[in-house]
Chains A and B, each alone.
Chain A
Amino acid sequence: MINGQKNFKELNNTIVLYADNYINDTEGEKLEEICDDFLGKGIKNFIINFSGTELVNSIGISILIGIIEKIKDEKGVIVFSELNKINHSIFTVVGLTKHIRVSKTEDEALKLLENHRD
């Protein structure tokens, strides 16, 4: 939860998750739980919005890789949006950017998913 508010929203069969300021084990697991719930309900499109995320640590990375794995298992699609420079560097070093789509804005991410459906 960010500032006591719900940290995801549902839009056109797509789930947009809002990542916390610091993605560690706890925050990563929260994202994973939400993804698990919605994957269980048959939703396959996910956007993780990192606009509020200053830093992702290696444990957070490992959980994010797990989330991507599960989504890919279900033939789903995931887009990371609004990454800051350092987080983009981290995901590049790890090699994640080869496996997922990255968009500058949430709207762009939604469009990417719409095009994917088409």
Chain B
Amino acid sequence: MKHDMTFHICPDSEFFGKQREIDTICHWATEAQKLSIGMLIVGKRWTGKTEILRRVHQWLFWNQARVIPVYYQFKTCAYHEDFAEDYVKEIIKQYLAFIKRDVQVIRTEVALERLEGLCRDIDIPNISGLITRYREAKGNGDFLAALRNAITMPYTLSLHSNIPIFLILDDIDCARKIVLSWNGVSMMREFFNSLYPKYPNPVPFLMASSIKSVLDDRGLSGAMEIIKLDGLEEEIAVPMTIELCRQYNIEFDTGVLAFITKKLSGNPVYIKNIVWAAYRAGRDFINLRDFIDLYLYELTEGNLGFLLFSAIPIESLSDLRVLHTCMNSRNSISEEEIREKVRCSTEEIKKAVGSLVASGLLEKDIGLIRWGGDDVVKDFIHCLYETRIKGKSTEEVRTGIARKDLKEGFYQKGIKVEGRIKEETIEIIEAFHGQKIVKALLNNQIFSAGYEKGVFHIPENMRAEDVVTLPQIIGCFDALKWEKETEPTIIIAYGFQNNRYDTAHEEVWIVGIKEDMVPVNPDEGENFIRRSSILKEIFRANKVARWFVGSEGFHAEAQKRLDSEGIYSTDAVQLRILKDRIMEEKAADRSSGIDVIAPNKEFEVVLPMGSKAELVAVKVLEGICMEMGFDEDAISQIKVALVEACINAFEHCKVKEGKICLRFIAGRDRLVIHVQNKGMNLDQLPSMDRIAFSETRHGLPHKKGWGIELIRGFMDEVCLETLKSGTEIVMTKYLAKKGDIRNDQRTEKF
């Protein structure tokens, strides 16, 4: 039986082979006697930590009764008051959800007072007492006591319950960023004190962090098991990428995919991102050029760049300089050495290093600093540095990366991509059946002149000589029997012209195939000319065509020589188009397969400040939601959240005539909406939110602060971010699948 999801996890088809780690953790979580008090998963950003934690929670929720799993994801920016309230609510909700085995409880947005009442109603007074204690501390203005009550809640809850809590803390490193109002109080210390085994029955826990140093000076490292999470290994990453490509009808060469997964550090988020980008752009991964173009576009102008820009905490040019220096330093480097190179003040360096170490981009060990990011982040930082500090154009930087980081690096490492060009070429030749094709598909030079951004522009006013009539091929075979040389492979294909099977219409094709991921050089060109001339004498026919297929194209000199001999030349891109043209059935399949909205299709709207301006956004939203297949109730809920986000953004615009930018990202299973303004800092928002819970005359709810609550109530995920340029609310709504109760009325339960 498939259980409802407790927290959103990606579809199994897009899962990334960390089942072994999940099994280990689940086994450990349910053991009666544990050798360690906790586990810490440390891994770079987007290596799948959250997915593992949520899958562990899902398994523990449905498959055992020894522990009560409680999952909490720390937010990137929070006040202690908001954190405490949120933490208590989550723990109690998940406790109740487990007792009742009802995931709806987890998903429902509900006030603490109601949770307290609910605990009382279902006769678990001890738990309602814990909530009361927290609320009283908060009501009396003793926020430190309230915070400590919240943090120790899993422990006290375990004491009052027959089943212990198993605490799952995601992004624990973000706990350090919770804003406190007291001197000498450290959030991490408070937290770790509550977990440290000074109590008789400590709460077992699983944590995930981008940085290992989260444990420093807490005395916990020895008592914990640490799982280091790296990118996917090639044998897992490549099959996963193949599966994704098949899912999105993207043609690929396995060798190119192997290179892609390596280049993207085996990071599942990067891999998915680039596959989706290829789908959106209608590109394939047949040769390296396809990938390089797409990767650089994605990095500088696409989603990948946007993702990195939002995640990397670069607040000043000093940060960028420090990062660039450490990134390019072969060995670890001291702050003093950095200062000499970037010419910033000691304070600036300290501040930059502090925030970059906290983000995991730099690592600090006994006073020395080293680069801690991956290759993709490295390219991204390089782009930023070259454009913002050195003033280069994006195009220039892109060219530089393509040349240096990808092509040169690729050849130096001597990676040889085993392509399928030979099989594909034979498949294409065997499908020759008298079709007429544009000659450019058989001439790399003409083709290159008309090929731009993934599209080949057929020249106007085509003449008879611009078209080639293919023969009807009756068979083809390897020329190995007829010559001693093996590289490049030569194929002989026999056929007839115009369906006339006589000597006058006999036609032979001599086809050279070079699979290496480097262009055909002049020597190889000469080699083919010489060998094909000999074979031409052996396989005499009325017409002999010679064709050289080079996966990565041709050096100019080689191209010139082949042209002068009247030899056709085709690279992998031409071959792909040729294949599509002559295999119409397959082409039809490709186009008919696309019947749903493209994943991560994006729409942007800029709203000027004005009365009812938010309704313009609602109109756009309706169209997107309907196309995505959201039901009417879900659309209404998203509309409410969007209206509130717009109102909020307008209300807090710093600029009088301000505008807000909306970005709708329609994925296969979710809609993500970004609402951004040039507004105040988010830390001003929570105090407003809290107003909503207090009551006024006649016991009525307070008049203000409902916007954020409605957004949280009606969307599946809400994230408030402070950007350099303002404030952003990011809201996600998932498409409900059959049997999923996600979009049911959320208020019915309580």
Contact = CB atoms under 8 A, between A and B. Distances in A.
B358 interface: no
Contact of B647 (A26, A58, A72, A84): A58
Nearest to B746: A89
Contacts, number: 80
Majority SS of interface residues in chain B?
A: helix
B596 interface: no
Contacts of A86: 633, 636-637, 639-640
Interface in B86-124: 109, 111
A65 B647 contact: no
B704 interface: yes
B701 interface: yes
Given A58-B647, A66-B703, A68-B700, A93 B636 contact: no
A93 B615 contact: no
A58 B707 contact: yes
A50 to B, nearest CB: 14
Given A65-B700, A89-B747, A58 B615 contact: no
A95 interface: yes
Contacts of A63: 703
A94 B701 contact: yes
Nearest to B708: A58
B38 to A, nearest CB: 37
B616 to A, nearest CB: 12
A112 interface: no
B713 A93 contact: yes
Contact of B698 (A61, A72, A89, A90): A72
Interface in A56-79: 57-59, 61-63, 65-66, 68-69, 72-73
B694 to A, nearest CB: 11
Contacts of B714: 89
B140 interface: no
B640 A90 contact: yes
Majority SS of interface residues in chain A?
A: helix
B710 interface: yes
Nearest to B707: A58
Contacts of A94: 692, 701, 706, 709
Given A57-B647, A69-B696, A72-B698, A89 B745 contact: yes
Contact of A85 (B633, B643, B700, B713): B633
B374 interface: no
A96 B710 CA distance: 13
B524 interface: no
B704 A62 contact: yes
A69 B697 contact: yes
Contacts of B637: 86, 89
A113 interface: no
Contacts of B703: 61-63, 65-66
Interface in B703-738: 703-704, 706-707, 709-710, 713-714
Interface of B: 109, 111, 611-612, 614-615, 618, 633, 636-637, 639-640, 643-644, 647, 692, 696-704, 706-707, 709-710, 713-714, 745-747
Given A72-B700, A86-B639, A93-B746, 6 more contacts: A57-B707, A58-B647, A90-B640, A93-B109, A93-B709, A93-B713
